[in-house]
């Protein structure tokens, strides 16, 4: 099968799945209308793949008053006609299905023992984790940020997971499903970083939270608590204690285990200098 045919068939399958999910949501969402009307905040992740977003999303999903879906792609769902209640049901269903499947991703389990993943006590926060696709969608269609806010009618809060670019790029390269070269991976990463920087400039600072994976692993309780407060979730000590059990002790330094081609690390370092939120922590001394 030639690449264009494969791309066409992949898109066709995705559209068919969205159409199916829209039909399911249309039938099921009325049963949850009262719960969905009580949601106060919408959370959406931005940034890059392989940066800790699946972990952070799962930790938030374990809170008794939150549902965070994994890779629902809400901006595309909006374009396919999901209204507020259907969109929320779609996210709830995605969270439940990910939990029922064991919440395993790249060989790591994101199940929080005793957590509320896929269910809730009182639904106050709902959202989606698919950081890179969200940024790419907004680069192509900037108006979707406003469309999302208008469609759901509640405050939107943006969560930006950040990892050392060298480690992030190395992991993206090793795990790429697109067969990108290391040069192409570097270009793709900084395309996402520049798009994220543009979005952050267009939003009020209080609507965006930067979370460094190094802070999450070094101080999980404080970092999870900060994320919950940012979304308006009440402090729940049992939730934080349960989450701390699945957070690894340090981020994986995958950048040290790759054979970088000549000049690539210098190129990465120069690009880091041009992105403020990367430069403040990851720029190397000159």
Tens-of-pLDDT digits for all 286 residues of the chain?
Answer: 455 666 566 677 877 888 888 899 989 999 999 999 999 999 999 999 999 999 999 999 999 999 999 999 999 999 888 999 999 999 999 999 999 999 988 778 999 999 999 999 999 999 999 999 999 999 999 999 999 999 999 999 999 999 999 999 999 998 876 788 999 999 999 999 999 999 999 999 999 999 999 999 999 999 999 999 999 999 999 999 999 999 987 777 878 878 899 999 999 999 999 999 999 999 987 5
* pTM, full prediction: 0.93
Whether residue 225 lies inside any domain: the answer is yes
In 155-187, which positions are buried (b, 16+ CB within 10 angstroms) versus exposed (e)? ebbbbbbbbbbbbbbbbbbeebeeeeebeebbe
Q: How confident is the model at residue 18, as a pLDDT?
A: 82
Q: How confident is the model at residue 8, as a pLDDT?
A: 67
The first and second tokens of residue 273, run together, are: 């200098």
**Rounded Cα gap, residues 176 and 52, in angstroms:** 16
Residue 126 main-chain phi, psi, to 5 deg: -140, 155
Domain count, the chain: 1
* Closest listed residue to residue 47, CA positions, set 282, 283, 275: 275
Q: How confident is the model at residue 253, as a pLDDT?
A: 82
Whether residue 249 lies inside any domain: the answer is yes
109 and 173 Cβ atoms separated by less than 8 Å: no
Whether residue 13 lies inside any domain: the answer is no
135 and 192 Cβ atoms separated by less than 8 Å: yes
Q: How confident is the model at residue 154, as a pLDDT?
A: 98
Domain with 125, as residue range(s), is: 36-164+205-255
Whether residue 4 lies inside any domain: the answer is no
Q: Which one-letter DSSP state was computed for residue 206?
A: G
Whether residue 193 lies inside any domain: the answer is no
* Closest listed residue to residue 245, CA positions, set 139, 121, 115: 115
Whether residue 120 lies inside any domain: the answer is yes
Whether residue 171 lies inside any domain: the answer is no
SS3 (DSSP) at 7: helix
The first and second tokens of residue 75, run together, are: 């901006």
Whether residue 52 lies inside any domain: the answer is yes
Q: How confident is the model at residue 254, as a pLDDT?
A: 79
Residue 69 main-chain phi, psi, to 5 deg: -75, 160
Q: Which one-letter DSSP state was computed for residue 250?
A: S
Q: Which one-letter DSSP state was computed for residue 178?
A: S
């Amino acid at each position: 099968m030639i690449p264009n045919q494969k791309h066409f068939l992949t898109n066709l399958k995705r559209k068919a799945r969205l159409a199916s999910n829209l039909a399911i949501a249309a039938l099921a969402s009325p049963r949850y209308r009262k719960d969905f009307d009580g949601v106060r905040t919408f959370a959406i992740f931005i940034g890059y793949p392989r940066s800790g977003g699946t972990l952070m999303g799962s930790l938030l999903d374990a809170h008794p008053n939150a549902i965070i879906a994994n890779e629902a792609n809400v901006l595309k769902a909006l374009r396919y006609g999901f209204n507020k209640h259907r969109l929320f049901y779609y996210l709830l269903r995605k969270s439940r299905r990910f939990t029922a499947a064991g919440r395993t991703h790249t060989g790591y389990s994101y199940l929080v023992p005793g957590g509320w993943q896929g269910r809730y006590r009182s639904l106050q926060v709902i959202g989606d984790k698919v950081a890179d696709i969200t940024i790419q969608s907004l680069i192509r269609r900037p108006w979707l940020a406003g469309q999302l806010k208008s469609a759901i009618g509640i405050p939107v809060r943006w969560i930006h997971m950040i990892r050392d670019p060298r480690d992030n790029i190395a992991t993206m390269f090793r795990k790429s499903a697109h067969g990108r070269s290391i040069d192409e991976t570097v270009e793709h990463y900084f395309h996402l970083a520049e798009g994220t920087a543009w979005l952050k400039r267009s939003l009020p600072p209080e609507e965006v939270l930067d979370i460094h994976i190094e802070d999450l692993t070094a101080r999980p309780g404080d970092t999870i608590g900060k994320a919950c407060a940012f979304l308006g979730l009440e402090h729940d000590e049992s939730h934080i204690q349960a989450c701390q059990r699945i957070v690894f002790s340090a981020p994986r330094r995958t950048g040290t285990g790759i054979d970088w081609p000549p000049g690539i690390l210098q190129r990465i370092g120069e690009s880091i200098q041009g992105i403020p939120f990367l430069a403040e922590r990851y720029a190397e001394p000159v």
